[in-house]
């Protein structure tokens, strides 16, 4: 089987990497395409995948319109060269359009529910895989499963954090540290939001560093006075850092969700929030969500200090994480089965949604 996977974000490389390796072990051929946002090309190179980069993403509204045409054409051309049996992506309109033109199925994973993108790929997509929490994407194309994208690469079956990260960070083993995450706010689903954390970042750092070492992970260029806080590790090691951090504080829903999978407390700053971070908060108490305002930023800082001052906080979070893991399936194993047996797998899941629990991992306890 030949599968073309389109990547739109660095996290998508992680989402599909274990799937790709498992499929390659079975003799299938995998090829990736991407645009360059942050570390997509770096990660694809690091993990040794065959890929084609279509260049930098456009940032302006007009540029994104031009990019839609340009990247559609490039995706179609690459599809004609690779001749995939199936296109796979996380909500990629380019993969969906190329698949439609080539008469091939496109299977999309979805968890952001950004309908500006959904409207552009859904009509050309055969199947959409989503988590089973309540969401607004209602369609006969949807197959829901009990899991999260982040479990495809951060489930303890697939990921063991490396304690050498303390050495790489230049701090003593078991030093308490916080990762402060800043995003670029350029994505379409962020366009009506401000930059409240960035505008108050020095104040935030001054409060947090009273209780832990602070490192900044940023999509944007930092002002000179912040550069000393920048985290200097290889991008593929960020999950080791998140696993051993005492807290994540910032604007990335992806990193907040990743911390939940790792058993690390996180503070997520976003006026809208996401369905996933809201579930991780209400159902498992793994994430704290705060809106983007001065008042809520102050509340978020206060909650962070409360967390950092709490004894054995990571042990408490690991218990919550274990509860979450006990209720979820092996997302990677499910994806391998679903794609390998597509389209029969689609009808099996429609007729018997509980079939997915064949991929449940029992007795997973993380200390």
Q: pLDDT band for position 197 (50/70/90)?
A: confident
Correct CATH for 2-147+329-359 of 3.40.50.150, 3.40.50.2000, 3.20.20.140, 3.50.50.60: 3.40.50.2000
What is the dotted CATH code of the domain comprising 165-324?
3.40.50.2000
Contact between 31 and 4 under an 8 Å Cβ cutoff? The reply is yes
pLDDT at position 16 is 98
Q: Which residues pair with 131 in a beta bridge?
A: 145
Instruction: Report the residue count for the chain.
Output: 367
Task: Give dist(CA 286, CA 154) in Å, integer.
Answer: 15
Helix segments in 177-293, DSSP class H: 196-199, 201-208, 238-244, 253-262, 275-282
Global pTM reads 0.93
Task: Give dist(CA 287, CA 295) in Å, integer.
Answer: 19
* pLDDT 10s digits, 17-34: 999 999 999 999 999 999
For the segment 125-143, the average pLDDT, to the nearest whole number, is 97
Domain locations in the chain?
2-147+329-359, 165-324
Q: Which residue has the higher pLDDT, 193 or 305?
A: 305
pLDDT at position 64 is 83
For the segment 238-264, the average pLDDT, to the nearest whole number, is 97
Domains 2-147+329-359 and 165-324 share a fold: yes
Residue with tokens 């704290």: 288
């Amino acid at each position: 089987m030949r599968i073309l996977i389109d990547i739109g974000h660095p996290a998508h490389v992680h989402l599909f990497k274990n799937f790709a390796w498992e499929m390659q072990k079975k003799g299938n051929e995998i090829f990736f395409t991407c645009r360059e946002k942050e570390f997509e090309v770096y990660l694809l190179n690091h993990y040794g995948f065959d890929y084609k980069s279509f260049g930098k993403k456009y940032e302006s509204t007009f540029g994104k319109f031009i990019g839609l045409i340009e990247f559609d054409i490039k995706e179609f051309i690459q599809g004609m060269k690779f001749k995939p049996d199936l296109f796979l992506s996380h909500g990629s309109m380019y993969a969906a359009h190329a698949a439609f033109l080539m008469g091939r199925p496109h299977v999309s994973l979805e968890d952001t529910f950004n309908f500006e993108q959904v409207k552009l790929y859904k009509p050309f997509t055969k199947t959409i895989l989503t988590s089973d929490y309540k969401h607004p994407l209602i369609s006969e194309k949807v197959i829901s499963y009990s899991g999260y994208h982040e479990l495809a690469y951060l489930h303890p079956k697939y990921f063991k954090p490396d304690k050498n990260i303390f050495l790489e960070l230049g701090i003593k083993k078991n030093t308490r540290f916080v990762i402060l995450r800043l995003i670029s706010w350029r994505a379409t689903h962020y366009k009506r939001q401000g930059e409240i954390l960035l505008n108050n970042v020095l104040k935030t750092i001054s409060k947090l560093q009273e209780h832990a070492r602070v490192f900044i992970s940023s999509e944007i260029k930092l002002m000179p006075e912040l550069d000393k806080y920048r985290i200097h590790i290889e991008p593929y090691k960020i999950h080791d850092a998140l696993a051993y951090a005492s807290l994540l504080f910032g604007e990335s829903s992806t990193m907040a969700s990743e911390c939940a999978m790792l058993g690390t407390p996180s503070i997520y700053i976003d006026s809208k929030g996401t369905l996933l971070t809201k579930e991780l908060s209400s159902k498992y108490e793994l994430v704290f969500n705060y809106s983007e305002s001065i008042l809520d930023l102050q509340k978020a800082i206060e909650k962070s200090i409360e967390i950092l001052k709490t004894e054995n906080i990571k042990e408490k979070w690991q218990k919550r994480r274990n509860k979450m893991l006990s209720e979820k399936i092996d997302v990677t194993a499910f994806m391998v089965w679903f794609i390998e047996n597509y389209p029969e797998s689609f009808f099996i899941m429609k007729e018997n949604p509980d079939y997915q629990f064949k991929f449940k991992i029992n007795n997973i306890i993380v200390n």
